[in-house]
Amino acid sequence: MWWAQKTYSRRIRTLGTIVLLLVTAYSVRGNIILPKAPDLSAKGYILMDAASGRVLVESNADESLPPASLTKVMTGYVVAAELETGRINLEDEVPISVNAWRTQGSKMFIQEGTTVTLSDLLMGVVVQSGNDASVAIAEFLAGDEHAFADVMNQHAITIGMTSTNFLNSTGLPEAGHFTSARDMAVLTRELIHRFPEHYATYAEREFTFDGIRQPNRNRLLWRDRTVDGVKTGYTLAAGYCLVASAKRDDMRLVSVVMGATSDEVRTRETQKLLQYGFRYFETRGLYSPDEPVIDARVYFGTNDNVPIGVLNPVHVTFPRGHYDDLDVEIDMPKQLEAPLEKGLEVGSLRVLMEDEYLLQTPLVTQRNIDEAGIFDRLFDAVYLFLAGLIE
């Protein structure tokens, strides 16, 4: 109908828990001054907020680069996903093949012909960066490493990794095996949110297997108490790489540095990123799926109003100290008509600051609204007709 095609836009000023609806345009108040983002000595890097997904710093973030042992973040992710389905268990005994035992590079030092629990192998991958453990897991889950790499790539596509192609579970050099700094940040963010129990293992500083104790290669676990992950990597082709995550107060950041020239450089440059992000930015939660953003008028329904809200928690990252400069725009149809099903997308919400859009998310109905009886519908039709004459 003609009235269903019109839209309106409202802006909401967030002041603590008070929400004010504004119909007129807002005015920019003051300038936001930030120092220049750090320029790192690396081939590609990125800094992302884990809650909002906002990128705070990036350089060559989409360039395809060899990931070395950063690959094992996806190896662990696949294991966590399989555990979630119930198809495997951490107590499963995994047979160790000659192929896994002979794998070159960093090792957990498993022995062919034996069995090792999946739990121990996973710790060998996460903490000790064992290539042998990675191959053993790949063979256990998929039969061989090639098939496991196909599973890795399917997960990569599902979570939005657009510049990645895995050919093995270890990160050992292989033509056509690559990822990007952005994709690694996307993967790490998904890992943290979806599998928090598995992610907790990345904070372990050491792991002992068969009497051999090995430390975690992530030196930031000792240098910064707020860092609780994630993974280092090195090959001659990839250089020195590091995915890190740290949480300070209610803010968590994910950094990725790829192609640094030494272990010390990748650690130092990661520290620069994290320090910049925590010092000059903050993240706040604005809306929860459990609470309505607005109550919208409904016509021809058994109820006059329907609560409208967000599907997922809305977090926004912005320059520190500028919370009161946030604005929210809501776009909704001028009229909503019953029947309405819960979860129906009916509009959008955008958060902006000084004309820069920080995020956009759908708005959905939070309850069902059934169609009213004929007399109530007739009353609403007359009301809308008369309202249209006045406009």
Which residues participate in catalysis according to the annotation? 69, 72, 129
Question: DSSP 3-state assignment of 144?
Answer: coil
Query: d(Cα 200, Cα 119) in Å, to the nearest integer?
Result: 13
The strand ranges marked E within the chain are 7-15, 18-22, 44-49, 55-59, 93-95, 115-117, 206-209, 212-215, 227-235, 239-248, 251-260, 281-287, 294-299, 305-310, 314-319, 327-333, 336-337, 345-353, 356-365
Query: d(Cα 153, Cα 162) in Å, to the nearest integer?
Result: 10
* Inter-CA distances, 84 with 81, 93, 224, Å: 5, 18, 31
Whether 327 contacts 26, CB under 8 Å: yes
Query: d(Cα 81, Cα 16) in Å, to the nearest integer?
Result: 38
Tell which residue, 352, 300, 301, 362, has the closest CA to residue 331.
Answer: 362
Q: Which amino acid is at 35?
A: P
